[in-house]
Amino acid sequence: MEPHAHLPPMFRLTELETGDARATARTVSEAGSVLHVARPDRLDCAVVLQPGADERSAAKMAQLAMADALAVLAPPERPITLDPHGWLMVDGAVVGRVEIEAGIPPRLVAAVSVELRGEDEAPGLHPDRSDLWEEGFGEVAPGELLEVFCRHLLSWQDVFHEDGPAVLDAAWHRRMRGGHE
């Protein structure tokens, strides 16, 4: 990870040279553990979540956190949307996914993958799939996106615990594909 990336204090980063962040995270019991596979072209990480949220609410928190992180880094007026299956879309094209899996009980794991810069030799050939570079984000380092994601995840966890699932649900529905910001 880049030396300038700083995660909020409740998160502990483990950098993996290779492997599967999601599979490794399922074996970790400490909430706030962040497993990150070092790749220059993709953010591939998993976060062990704090207990207290059901799987559906945890998925919404993680999806909203990544959508907000992308919105912070996106060019102006670029729509960032979600779908019920965890797909992250920029201007209608899939750039990544957030999934929730069971970890060591009662923990859940948020697995995140976002394409930063694909190696597609024919950009635009698959208009339903893209990457951040192709969508005009410029150079986004994996550590930069991870840092922003973790900050937003912490914020959405606070919203859930302070205000309950209704506020989370409303925000998630606004980010749904075809929904309004």
Question: Can you read off the two tokens belonging to residue 32?
Answer: 């706030």
Res 13: pLDDT? 95
How many alpha carbons lie under 13 Å from residue 141 in its C-beta half-sphere?
8
3-state DSSP assignment of residue 114:
strand
Whether 181 shows a pLDDT value over 80: the answer reads: no
- Burial, 53: exposed, middle or buried (Cβ in 10 Å; 0-12, 13-18, 19+)? buried
Domains in the chain, CATH or no CATH each: 12-174 (3.30.930.10)
Instruction: Quote the CA–CA distance of 49 and 47 in Å, as a whole number.
Output: 6
The reported pLDDT for the residue numbered 6 is 86
In this structure, is the dihedral angle defined by the CA atoms of residues 68, 74, 77 and 83, taken in order, positive or negative? negative
Residue 169 has pLDDT above 90, yes or no: yes
Pairing of strands 33-37, 12-16: parallel
**Is the separation of the CB atoms in 98 and 112 below 8 Å?**
yes
Checking if the pLDDT of 123 tops 90, the result is no
For residue 46, pLDDT beyond 90: yes
Signed CA dihedral, 176, 178, 179, 181: sign only: positive
